[in-house]
């Protein structure tokens, strides 16, 4: 379980590494900003769920843009619009907002009680390791 902002950001970076982000975005910087908005008791699976939901938000935005282009062009069909888009244009881009919106719906798989128990065990284990070095 990652507890510090840095550790949590590294988990999010790992989950997002294959996603396309805005070209001006530094993945680690964005991850560090975003995880401060997340609940503290998220597991790696929760981070994956947030990333998947963020991708869905991105795909929904892309779909809406295509539909709006069809509506604004009376003679175009959805197929015509999508055929006119480049591969780059067709690739969803996950934004910081996509992640923040996705995180609002996440229900952490680790309870606060579990988190407290984990912290207690971690402190006991670290105390035992420090005592062994004396």
Give 134's pLDDT tier (boundaries 50, 70, 90): very low
Percent of the chain past pLDDT 90, that is, above it, reads 67
The alpha carbon of 111 is separated from its chain's Cα centroid by a whole number of angstroms, namely 20
Higher pLDDT: 41 or 86? It is: 86
- In this prediction the pTM is 0.81
Q: What is the DSSP letter of 81?
A: H
> What are 63's two structure tokens?
């779909």
Q: Is 8 exposed, middle or buried (0-12, 13-18, 19+ CB in 10 A)?
A: buried
- Which of helix, strand or coil describes residue 93? coil
Residue tagged 């480049």 (tokens)? 86
Instruction: Note the pLDDT tens digit of each residue in 54-86.
Output: 999 999 999 999 999 999 987 789 999 999 999
Of the candidates 20, 21, 50, 25, the residue with the CA atom closest to the CA atom of residue 35: 50
């Amino acid at each position: 379980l990652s507890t510090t902002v840095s550790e949590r950001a590294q988990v999010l970076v790992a989950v997002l590494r294959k996603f396309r982000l805005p070209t001006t975005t530094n993945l680690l910087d964005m991850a560090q900003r975003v995880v401060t908005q997340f609940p503290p008791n998220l597991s790696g699976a929760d981070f994956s769920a947030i990333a998947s939901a963020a991708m869905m938000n991105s795909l929904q935005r892309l779909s809406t843009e295509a539909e709006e282009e069809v509506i604004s062009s009376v003679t175009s069909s959805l197929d015509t619009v999508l055929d006119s888009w480049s591969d780059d244009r067709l690739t969803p881009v996950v934004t910081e907002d996509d992640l923040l919106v996705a995180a609002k719906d996440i229900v952490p798989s680790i309870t606060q009680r579990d988190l407290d128990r984990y912290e207690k065990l971690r402190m006991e284990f670290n105390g035992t390791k420090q005592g062994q070095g004396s």
